[in-house]
Amino acid sequence: MKELRYAVICVDDDPMILQVLAFQLDKILNNKSILIEFYTNPNDALSDIDILIDEDIDIIFVLVDYQMPEMTGAELIRKIKSKYKDLNCLMLSGQANSTQVSELEKDNLLEKFIEKPWDEEDLRDAIVKLIDTKSIS
């Protein structure tokens, strides 16, 4: 097995979305050294992010849904950003006009906002940019 050096995190309370994302990301990333993790519970995601970073694994991005029972995606991003301010965060959501989201954008915490339902192409465009910056082989 190739050594793990990178990871991407997806958080959405709807497993169906996660499944779709998984398939698409697999296609897009197609790289065995990139770990793809899926969480329905944002708190689990947070703790795993800590572990991964501890293990020196470079998290390329975190993709979160907005509407979640435990906390909104905006809150989650804020929490992540407060610890790891350089971590790229993307939001996936059916609600475009939340004040929380606009606040995030104002504070420059959101890398990209992807509206549901999304085209695979939109996702690919958003991600590839980020991967390129990491210059992953």
* Interface contacts to another protein, rule CB under 8 A: 1, 4, 7, 13-20, 22-24, 26-27, 35-39, 48, 67-69, 71-72, 75, 94-95, 97-100, 116-118, 120
99 vs 137 by CB, closer to another protein: 99
Residue closer to another protein by CB (options 22, 136) is 22
For another protein, the closer of residues 75 and 130 by Cβ is: 75
Task: Using the CB atoms, write b or e for 2-14: b if 16+ within 10 Å.
Answer: eeeebbbbbbbbe
Whichever of 69 and 135 has its CB closer to another protein, that residue is 69
Cα 121 to Cα 71: distance, rounded to the nearest angstrom: 28
DSSP string, 49-72: HHHHHHTT-EEEEEEEES--SSS-
* Identity of residue 66: Y
Least Å distance between CB 127 and another protein? Answer: 15
- Minimum CB separation from another protein for residue 16, in Å? 6
Q: Which residues of 21-41 are buried (b: 16+ CB within 10 A; e: fewer)?
A: beeebeebbeeeebbebbbbe
Q: How far is the CB of 30 from another protein (least distance, A)?
A: 13
Question: CA 55 to CA 109: how far, in whole Å?
Answer: 24
CB of 72 to another protein, least distance (A): 8
